[in-house]
Structure 1
Amino acid sequence: MTSPLPHPLPALTAALAAAALLAGCSAEPSGQDPAGAGATPSADAAEPSAGPSAGPAGPDLPEAADGTDLEACADAECEVLVEAGDEFAMDGTHGVARFVVDAVDGEGLGMSGFGPGIELSGRLPPPDGGRPPTFVMNGFTVTLVAVDGSTALMTLSP
């Protein structure tokens, strides 16, 4: 009887394993930190701050007399910087108890007013260099003075 030939499978398996190990090794370019190469920024750096803007006006917005103090608008007389989602209580003199900034974007300012038995909403287009756009909401006037990205300068006046 003849002796069986050696089986090629163990040699092939060893060769494939060696090739896989070598393929997984690669040289890092000089000057690059391999530990930081795949790292992602920290959560603090990746997420914008939440809440109303408390900083100074953007480069295209004039300073607001009342800054970001939305409480100054309770009597329907103020000049403030606003962003979408801002809202404030009003004293109800004009039938509006709560004012909400629905949107601030390239299309202007969207807003709503709520009171007992009343719901008002409107949209002002961005100012075009002429007279600023206005919206009368139940006896007080909302004026859109300027828009810069997601921040707007608006005034309320009786």
Structure 2
Amino acid sequence: MPGGPTRRMALVSAVTVAGLLTGCGSVPEETAAPAGAPTTSSTSPAPSSPPATPSPTATPFPKAKNGTKLRACRDAKCEVLVSDGRTITLDARWGLAPVAVSVEDDSVTFHVVTASGMQATMSEQTPDQGGPSTINDVSFEVLAVKGKKAVIKITH
């Protein structure tokens, strides 16, 4: 047969290519949806999107043990929520006049006057500064700051 092996080779090649195309996800004509109709395929799952990356969650603002009761600080032992412009009065035995508190720019500043008249400012205190600031054996520590409010801890 003249041209027999070549003709058979071409036919085998055509069948192989058709089989490869079908295996690569092409939809057979009899299952294709009409133009404009939504298409679904029972042979291949819908492409899945990668799982959503959770957005970083902000650490919740802690509750102060003594709430907003600044009088709890008279004995130099309290944890309170203060806002900008508040004043904390300590008992006279601590030798400090009322402490003015400024809260801004994610930090707290304490303005203090000692019984001897010395003025001290503990500026821009933050929760991550490595510990409290101390004057007359009274320590002032910032636990959290948000906007114009802060949770502070006073100890002796």
TM-score by length of 1: 0.55
* Distance of 1:149 and 1:60 partners within structure 2: 14
Contact conserved, 1:106 with 1:126, CA < 8 A, in 2?
no
Residues 1:142 and 2:103 are matched in the alignment: no
Contact 2:127-2:143 within 8 A present in 1 as well: yes
Q: Which stretch has the larger CA shift, 70-79 or 89-98?
A: 89-98
Flag the 1:127–1:115 CA change in 2: closer, same or farther, 3 A: closer
1:60 is matched with 60
Partner of 1:155: 153
Pair 133,106 (structure 1): closer, same or farther in 2 beyond 3 Å: farther
1:39-118 → structure 2 map (5 Å cutoff): 60-101=60-101, 103-118=102-117
Distance in 2, Cα, partners of 1:146 & 1:71 = 20
- CA root-mean-square deviation: 1.9
Structure 1 segment 11-30 matched on structure 2, within 5 A: none
Over 3 Å counting, the alpha-carbon distance change for 1:137 and 1:124 in structure 2 is: farther
Task: Could you tell me which runs of 5 or more consecutive residues in structure 1 were left unpaired when the two chains were aligned.
Answer: 1-58
Deviation at residue 115 of structure 1 after TM alignment:
3.7
Say if 2:66 and 2:72, in contact at 8 Å, map to a contact too.
yes
Distance 1:143 1:111 in 2: 10
Q: 1:62: how far off?
A: 0.6
> Can you give the 5+ residue segments of structure 2 that lack an aligned partner in the other structure?
1-58
One-letter identity of the residue aligned with 1:148: K
Task: Say if 1:98 and 1:115, in contact at 8 Å, map to a contact too.
Answer: no
Q: CA deviation at 1:116?
A: 2.6
Name the SS for the 1:154 alignment partner: strand
TM-score by length of 2: 0.56
